[in-house]
Structure 1
């Protein structure tokens, strides 16, 4: 089976059987066109002539050409899927891409606010609000305080109902990814802000906690806009968004406690490896402390 014909049949299979979206099909087509071009340059035109070592070389060639780790992973995944299809069809005796691994994408450390900046920011609706915005400021202070107090995701906060909050016990119940629920503590400052908002909140649709002044539940986008508004109002040095407050919550908690498993539970991460990125942030903090405090951390300046 010629390689171009095998690719065509594979794409037809993805379209008709797998019913992939046009966007995903285009991505497969682009990646497999690259494979065909690389193979043709070395005289490989039949699919059963594909071998592992040339594939590794082509992967390295794409890397040298400037293709990023995520793009390389996607290219290799397309080639591996083609190989698996060809194996089932009897065109190959083994999948030459099965044992190849693409380079891992570098994990980007999440941006966050330090503890002082976070404290100032969540209090900003009470200090930078104009005289006509008192109720909005009370509501937004509760939003910011709860994000930072309990590490909620944006979707978790926007979906909150008053029935999910136990203000007496200082707890909130949220439903996160995979429809999994978790119970979280609410800090004293966030608790006070929520109590202040409840006294002023309008009658809400479906018992929603965070609403417009007419009682309509705030959308994710509206909450993002309010967070951005307070960042501008307070002349924040960087763009602030809800996820930054969640990152700050996790990092500051880990910094103080060192308990990675507890932070995992509070964030609602299914896999602790997702939470482990915060250990890098914690090490950065420790390194700064070491550099500033240890008598032999720096070179001799005499």
Structure 2
């Protein structure tokens, strides 16, 4: 439902984005990643460390990340080196890697958390039979970034999704690979998501000598 600007009921009502920073959220740098990890370890927030690490490695949207089940992450007594989930937005599967440090933090959390393969890895604080909400996840990200001196208006859950993808693109210039890792159906979506512009293209061209 939409409203006309001339609707009397809308007079004096602030715009939805008034006072907010809108647009693409910044990815984290390597230094910022380790600053957040240090903060979470210092505060002994084992669940949050595992969630943060998984968000970076998986490159998943928040709606997919919070729904991950223990069985998606473990194989026998070990954490998988690769996992696969079906994306809510596209209905298509996407694979991701789990690196050594991330597997370690996930294993520590899941050993404390307990549960079965069918249980959610990150349960709701209200109902432990359900998964954490995307709103709770967003609040946690706000806490993490502000704790290390970043402005939460400039960072969000998509910052974590974009971080490793942006690093891979800057290191390789391979948009197709990043498209696959993000689970995008069209490469144009990947271009927009990464904020690839003419400056990026020129820098890649300048590095290539013939």
TM over 0.5: yes
Alpha-carbon contact 2:124-2:133 (below 8 Å) kept? no
Q: Tell whether 2:32 aligns with 1:120.
A: no
Alpha-carbon contact 1:123-1:141 (below 8 Å) kept? no
SS in 2 for 1:276: helix
Q: Tell whether 2:196 aligns with 1:280.
A: yes
Instruction: Give 1:191's match in structure 2, choosing from 103, 106, 111.
Output: 103
SS in 1 for 2:123: coil
Higher CA-based Rg? 1
1:265, CA displacement in angstroms?
A: 0.6
Task: Summarize the Cα distance change of 1:286–1:124 in structure 2 as closer, same or farther, 3 Å threshold.
Answer: farther
Instruction: Give 1:210's match in structure 2, choosing from 107, 112, 122.
Output: 122
Task: Choose 181-190 or 210-219, whichever is displaced more.
Answer: 210-219
For 1:139 and 1:203, the matched residues in 2 are separated by 14
| Larger helix proportion of the pair | 1
Task: Choose 222-231 or 201-210, whichever is displaced more.
Answer: 201-210
Match of 2:46 in 1: 138
Q: How many equivalent residue pairs?
A: 180
1:170, CA displacement in angstroms?
A: 1.1
SS in 2 for 1:236: coil
1:237, CA displacement in angstroms?
A: 4.3
CA RMSD of aligned residues (A): 3.0
Higher relative contact order (CA 8 A, sep 6+): 2
For 2:197 and 2:98, the matched residues in 1 are separated by 24
Q: Which runs of 5+ in 2 are unaligned?
A: 7-22
Instruction: Give 1:181's match in structure 2, choosing from 90, 93, 101.
Output: 93
